[in-house]
């Protein structure tokens, strides 16, 4: 059969050349469309459920949050297993699906079941889905280089400006902030004063919550003009909180400032982030969405950061802490170098031993076509160009070179014997 195929190819050279040209063009197209990453993503097909209930012990989180969620997620189809972890104030549930399940179909099914499980959880406890990324989704880290700025100001700049700008980049699932202080109004209550006025702590919480609100009214018409009436009540400064009335005793209002001290502070944190021992840093982690092209997403993030820097305050600069594109480019460069070296060595060896240029050219074309066909298969089966797949291509080219040399040498020897 092989002999007949070779005879047909020799008789129909034009058709063979056209097929080779089509395969080559489609191969170069596949090279440009194949997803590029540094390492293969072997993580499990999972959906993460995060639930926060601050101040509760791990045992309470396990009994009242984790167990009800796990027991109600069991009936979802195509699940391999469910794992959970309860800690102080937080609960994590990992729902692992079969590998052939679409990740967004899985997230939809989990969300449907969470709507049912919500009634089994304590009041004001709401579980949320984690980002649609994987364990290898952390593709880009950056920090804010801003000498003289307060860590709270930098964290606010990261949370309310840089983060929202980067989340608009296609392929970005989440931008996670780290470091610094998250600003918040803190009411430090004096228990002695609270007991003296006989005001329960829950009443203080309710009064503060009720006064931080805008109220809408009806339209008021006067002199052929319509006016929309509304009550503006959102808290904007420390003084607004201090003046909130709690109750009245003998026509004298008791305000928050009478029983507590109001201050601007940072949220309680469990650690700090340093960079090269130079002190605390504030920054963000760009998480790539599941199934995206890491190289393209990183390039788009870098372009977005250039625009973001123009809106930063004076003296604030963005500093790259981790960029996976460096490893990606090094991986691609390694494959290019290996293939070019193999082509050069094969061409020189064949020319020296056979003294026949066309014979060397046959092996070179075979190597190039084989690499292009490999990329076509990788594009079809959604295999990314990473250090593992490209290393396999490089090793396969080495085996192909040996076979090509043997075949060409035998063919040339047979042709020489027949002509003699």
Residue 420 banded pLDDT, cuts 50, 70, 90: low
**Interval 262-281 mean pLDDT:** 85
Question: Minimum mean pLDDT among 181-190, 255-264, 357-366: which range?
Answer: 357-366
Question: Minimum mean pLDDT among 191-195, 269-273, 369-373, 393-397: which range?
Answer: 393-397
Rounded Cα–Cα distance for residues 135 and 178 (Å)? 17
Residue 144 banded pLDDT, cuts 50, 70, 90: very high
How confident is the prediction for the chain on average, in pLDDT? 86
Q: Identify the pLDDT of residue 17.
A: 87
Rounded Cα–Cα distance for residues 133 and 171 (Å)? 10
The residue ranking higher by pLDDT, 420 or 344, is 344
Domain boundaries along the sequence of the chain: 2-38+327-419, 44-133, 184-266
Q: Identify the pLDDT of residue 250.
A: 80
Q: Identify the pLDDT of residue 418.
A: 66
Pick the CATH number of 2-38+327-419 from 3.40.50.1970, 1.20.1640.10, 1.10.10.10, 1.10.3720.10: 1.20.1640.10
Which of 149, 182, 142 shows the shortest CA–CA distance to 304?
142
For residue 299, give the 3-state DSSP assignment: helix
Give the CB-side neighbour count of residue 218, counting CA atoms within 13 A.
2
Sign of the four-CA dihedral 165, 171, 173, 175: negative
Beta bridge partners of 186: 263
For residue 99, give the 3-state DSSP assignment: coil
Query: Diameter of the chain by CA atoms?
Result: 126
Q: For the beta carbon of residue 366, count every other beta carbon within 10 angstroms.
A: 18
pLDDT > 90 in the chain, percent: 33
Q: Global pTM?
A: 0.78
Inform me whether the pLDDT recorded for 161 exceeds 80: yes
> What CATH number was assigned to the domain covering residues 44-133?
3.30.70.1430
Each residue of 74-100: pLDDT tens digit?
Answer: 888 999 999 999 998 899 999 999 988
The residue ranking higher by pLDDT, 312 or 224, is 312
Beta bridge partners of 176: 285
Rounded Cα–Cα distance for residues 86 and 341 (Å)? 54
Task: Write out the two tokens for 145.
Answer: 């280089």
Rounded to a whole number, what is the distance in angstroms from the first to the last CA of the chain?
28
Inform me whether the pLDDT recorded for 42 exceeds 90: no
Rounded Cα–Cα distance for residues 266 and 237 (Å)? 15
Task: Write out the two tokens for 139.
Answer: 């593709």
Instruction: Decide yes or no: CATH 3.40.50.970 for domain 184-266.
Output: no
Q: Identify the pLDDT of residue 419.
A: 67
The residue ranking higher by pLDDT, 222 or 417, is 222
**Interval 110-118 mean pLDDT:** 88
For residue 209, give the 3-state DSSP assignment: helix
Beta bridge partners of 46: 96
Q: Identify the pLDDT of residue 305.
A: 93
R_g (Cα) of the chain, nearest Å:
33
Strand (E) or helix (H) holding 130? none
Each residue of 253-265: pLDDT tens digit?
Answer: 999 999 999 998 8
Strands (E), 271-390: 283-288, 317-323
Please name the residues in contact with 362: beta carbons below 8 A apart, sequence gap of 6 or more.
404, 408
Residue found by looking up tokens 């309310």 in the block: 160
Each residue of 381-404: pLDDT tens digit?
Answer: 888 888 788 777 877 777 777 777
């Amino acid at each position: 059969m092989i002999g007949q195929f070779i005879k047909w190819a020799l008789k129909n050279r034009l058709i063979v050349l056209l097929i080779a040209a089509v395969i080559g063009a489609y191969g170069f197209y596949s090279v440009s469309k194949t997803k590029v990453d540094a390492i293969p993503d072997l993580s499990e097909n999972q959906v993460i459920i995060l639930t926060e209930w601050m101040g509760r012990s791990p045992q309470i989180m396990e009994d009242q949050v984790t167990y009800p969620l796990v027991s109600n997620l069991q009936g979802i189809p195509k699940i391999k297993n469910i794992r959970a972890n309860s800690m102080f104030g937080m609960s994590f549930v990992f729902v692992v699906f079969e590998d052939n399940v679409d990740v967004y179909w899985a997230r939809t099914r989990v969300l449907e079941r969470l709507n049912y499980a919500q009634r089994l959880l304590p009041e004001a406890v709401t579980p949320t889905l984690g980002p649609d990324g994987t364990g290898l989704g952390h593709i880009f880290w950056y920090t804010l280089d801003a000498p003289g700025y307060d860590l709270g100001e930098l964290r606010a700049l990261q949370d309310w400006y840089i983060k929202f700008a980067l989340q608009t980049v296609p392929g970005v699932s989440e931008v996670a902030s780290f470091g610094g202080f998250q600003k918040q109004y803190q009411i430090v209550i004096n228990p002695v004063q609270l007991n003296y006025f006989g005001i329960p702590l829950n009443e203080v919480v309710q009064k503060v919550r009720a006064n931080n609100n805008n109220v809408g009214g009806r339209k008021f018409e006067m002199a052929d003009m319509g006016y929309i009436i509304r009550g503006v009540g959102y808290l904007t400064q420390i003084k607004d909180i201090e003046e909130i009335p709690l109750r009245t005793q003998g026509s004298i209002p008791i305000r928050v400032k009478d029983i507590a001290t109001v201050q601007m502070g940072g949220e309680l944190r469990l650690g700090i982030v340093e960079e090269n021992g130079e002190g605390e840093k504030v920054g963000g982690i760009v998480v790539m969405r599941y199934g995206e092209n890491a190289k393209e997403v990183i390039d788009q993030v870098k372009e977005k950061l250039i625009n973001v820097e123009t809106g930063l305050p004076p003296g604030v600069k963005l500093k790259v802490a981790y960029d996976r594109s460096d490893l990606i480019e090094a991986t691609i460069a390694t494959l290019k170098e290996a293939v070019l070296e193999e082509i050069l060595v094969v061409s020189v060896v064949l020319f020296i031993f056979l003294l026949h240029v066309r014979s060397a050219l046959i092996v070179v074309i075979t190597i190039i076509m084989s690499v292009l066909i490999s990329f076509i298969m990788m594009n079809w089966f959604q295999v990314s160009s990473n250090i593992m797949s490209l290393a396999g291509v490089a090793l396969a080219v080495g085996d192909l070179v040996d076979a090509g040399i043997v075949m060409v040498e035998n063919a040339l020897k047979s042709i020489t014997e027949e002509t003699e």
